[in-house]
């Protein structure tokens, strides 16, 4: 019988919650759902110098926003806890002791200073960097005496000097590494804290992780992990290294070229469905050509067999297009709620008019706020202020006619026929009428078509606006 699928993400809380974390979480989550498995979160915070509590909180908060729920984690606890590596130091120590007693690891007493000089020496001779294994052959007596002298030490893995380590990656096949080129990696630092490699392997094993699904940037670390599994005599998980997200120039996605914080996408008003759909397309595609799909549809069709491995470019234009599709799919009322705008019938209608012309909720909110604002305020805030004020002054006949004859308009056709009537009664071209109507109603020269505006705004509201503009212009 095959084991229950258990997957995890293991973020290091060192900064803003990253889109790359959401992308990897999404694939782990979908794979778990597809297989009736568990998706868990473990916090890898053993590097205490870079640790940041806010970052840990926000990673969980923004994954929750995306709806990628987990069944075990630092906030929920679970059978295999604690789920924060800083709280598991005693566990790693036990496993390090086991490797030491079996001679699979050794104590290294080299000082920071020696290691730095070694690196500089290797650098100057263009040699590959790495530990020269000075302490690998210390006798037991030598080790005891150094400990007795109170010398600090790290613990390193005794990497085989010959042979190969093979990473069998589900997406990439066998990747071979010469053991001779693998460093005798540090497993435990002198302060007793484990390194990433040790903690990561021990935790994946103890937490029953069946598939390690992570970004391809971890491939160089994986032979070290494979060697550790071997040293412990443990069965390896299935390795799945996902293509990393890239900037347009194909370099690894970075702050300087792309917004990478989930906060940014949340605050700009990208819908979580849109962001997830977009991230899914970075590594996977349904069999049809359809680019808009729900998580349920993805779960139904998902398999690592149809992943694409080409470097996926994080293209915000594409994300915008997807976001617009999802915005169009929401009701006007839902969009008001999502924008945090208090409901009114009028605002709901405005949303209906402008939602197809925006890419984000932020833009939508700006537009609704704009149409809802006092038109005179919009005029004086605009770069076209002078132009609009002179249109008002030059259009008194148009504005008088408009204000006195405006009927209660029920629909677009009625609005259009009123404008036609206006044109013929006043004997003026649309260019003389439409800008004036727009300026006194919304305080803008562009935006919504004038006839549309008349069909959206209640008559009383328009008259109130026109009067208030005139009052402020002439007072
Ligand atoms: N702590 C690593 C990270 O920050 C985890 C890598 C892995 O998934 O093994 O991404």
DSSP structure string for 414-445: HHHHHHHHHHHHHT--HHHHHHHHHHHHHS-S
168-176: average pLDDT = 96
On the CB side of 234, CA atoms within 13 Å amount to 22
Helix (H) / strand (E) containing 456: helix 450-456
Atom of ligand 1 nearest to the CA of 9: 8
Mean pLDDT, the chain, whole residue set: 94
Is residue 44 lining ligand 1, measured as CB closer than 6 Å? yes
The pLDDT value given to residue 318: 97
Counting ligand 1 atoms within 8 A of each CB, the residue from 17, 216, 218, 252 with the most, and so the one to mutate, is 218
Is residue 378 lining ligand 1, measured as CB closer than 6 Å? no
pLDDT digits (tens, 9 = 90+) for 440-469: 999 999 877 888 889 888 999 999 999 999
- Cα–ligand 1 centroid distance for 139 (angstroms): 36
pTM reported for the whole predicted model: 0.91
The pLDDT value given to residue 22: 98
The pLDDT value given to residue 49: 76
Q: Is the pLDDT of residue 10 over 70?
A: yes
The pLDDT value given to residue 1: 52
150-175: average pLDDT = 97
Atom of ligand 1 nearest to the CA of 8: 8
Q: Is the pLDDT of residue 327 over 80?
A: yes
- The residues near 445 (Cβ < 8 Å, ≥ 6 apart) are 384, 387, 388, 435, 438, 439
Atom of ligand 1 nearest to the CA of 221: 9
**d(C-alpha 373, C-alpha 469), whole Å:** 12
What 3-state DSSP class applies to 141? Answer: helix
The pLDDT value given to residue 308: 87
User: For atom 10 of ligand 1, which residue has the closest CA?
Assistant: 11
The pLDDT value given to residue 47: 81
Is residue 12 lining ligand 1, measured as CB closer than 6 Å? yes
Residue spans of the domains in the chain: they are 1-73+243-329, 331-372, 373-474
CA Rg value for the chain: 32
**d(C-alpha 179, C-alpha 161), whole Å:** 6
Asked if the domains 1-73+243-329 and 373-474 are classified in one and the same CATH topology, the answer is no
380-406: average pLDDT = 95
The pLDDT value given to residue 18: 96
Is residue 237 lining ligand 1, measured as CB closer than 6 Å? no
Q: Is the pLDDT of residue 255 over 90?
A: no
- Cα–ligand 1 centroid distance for 217 (angstroms): 10
- Alpha helix positions (H), 316-429: 316-328, 332-339, 345-354, 361-372, 375-381, 385-394, 396-405, 412-426
Q: What percent of the chain has pLDDT over 90?
A: 88
**d(C-alpha 193, C-alpha 186), whole Å:** 11
pLDDT digits (tens, 9 = 90+) for 12-54: 999 999 999 999 999 999 999 999 999 999 999 988 777 788 9
The pLDDT value given to residue 448: 75
* Other CB atoms within 10 Å distance of the CB of residue 371: 25
CATH dotted code for 373-474:
1.10.10.350
Q: Is the pLDDT of residue 194 over 60?
A: yes
- Cα–ligand 1 centroid distance for 12 (angstroms): 7
User: For atom 3 of ligand 1, which residue has the closest CA?
Assistant: 11
The pLDDT value given to residue 289: 86
Q: What percent of the chain has pLDDT over 70?
A: 100
| Residues counted in the chain | 475
Superfamily of domain 1-73+243-329 in the CATH hierarchy: HUPs (3.40.50.620)
């Amino acid at each position: 019988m095959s084991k229950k699928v258990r997957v995890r993400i293991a973020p290091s809380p060192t900064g803003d919650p990253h889109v790359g974390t959401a992308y990897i979480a999404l694939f782990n989550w979908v794979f778990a759902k597809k297989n009736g498995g568990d998706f868990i979160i473990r916090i890898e915070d053993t590097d205490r110098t870079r640790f940041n509590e806010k970052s840990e909180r926000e990673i969980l908060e923004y994954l929750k926003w995306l709806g990628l729920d987990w069944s075990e984690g630092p906030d929920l606890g679970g059978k295999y806890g604690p789920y924060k590596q800083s709280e598991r130091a005693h566990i790693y120590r036990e496993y390090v002791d086991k490797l030491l007693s079996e001679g699979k690891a050794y104590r290294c007493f080299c000082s920071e200073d020696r290691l730095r000089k070694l690196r500089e020496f290797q650098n100057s001779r263009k040699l590959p960097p790495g530990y020269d294994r000075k302490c690998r052959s210390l006798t037991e007596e030598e080790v005891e005496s150094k400990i007795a002298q109170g010398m600090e030490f790290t613990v390193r893995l005794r990497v085989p000097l010959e042979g190969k380590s093979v990473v069998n990656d589900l997406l990439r096949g066998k990747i071979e590494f010469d053991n001779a080129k693998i460093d005798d990696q540090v497993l435990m630092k002198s302060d007793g804290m484990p390194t990433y490699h040790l903690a990561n392997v021990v935790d994946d094993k103890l937490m029953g992780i069946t598939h390690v699904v992570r970004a391809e940037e971890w491939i160089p670390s994986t032979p070290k992990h494979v060697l550790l599994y071997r040293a412990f005599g443990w069965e390896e998980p299935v390795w799945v290294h996902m293509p990393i997200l890239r900037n347009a120039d194909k370099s690894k996605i970075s702050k300087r070229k792309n917004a990478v914080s989930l906060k940014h996408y949340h605050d700009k008003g990208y819908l979580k469905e849109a962001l997830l759909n977009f991230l899914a397309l970075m590594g996977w595609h349904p069999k049809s050509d359809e680019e808009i799909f729900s998580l349920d549809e993805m779960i139904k069709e998902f398999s690592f067999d149809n992943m694409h491995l080409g470097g996926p470019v994080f293209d915000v234009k594409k994300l915008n297009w997807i976001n617009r599709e999802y915005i169009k799919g929401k009701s006007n009322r839902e969009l008001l709620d999502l924008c945090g705008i208090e409901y009114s019938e009028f605002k709901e209608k405005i949303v209906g008019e402008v939602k197809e012309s925006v890419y984000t909720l932020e833009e939508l909110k700006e537009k609704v706020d704009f149409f809802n604002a006092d038109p005179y305020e919009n005029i004086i805030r605009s770069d076209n202020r002078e132009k609009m004020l002179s249109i008002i002054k030059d259009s008194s006949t148009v504005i008088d006619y408009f204000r006195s004859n405006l009927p209660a308009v029920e629909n677009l056709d009625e609005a259009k026929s009123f404008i036609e009537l206006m044109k013929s009664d006043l004997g003026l071209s649309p260019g003389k009428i439409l800008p004036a109507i727009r300026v006194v109603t919304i305080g803008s020269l562009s935006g919504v078509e004038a006839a549309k505006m008349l069909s959206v705004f209640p008559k009383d509201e328009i008259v109130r606006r026109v009067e208030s503009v005139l009052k402020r212009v002439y007072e």
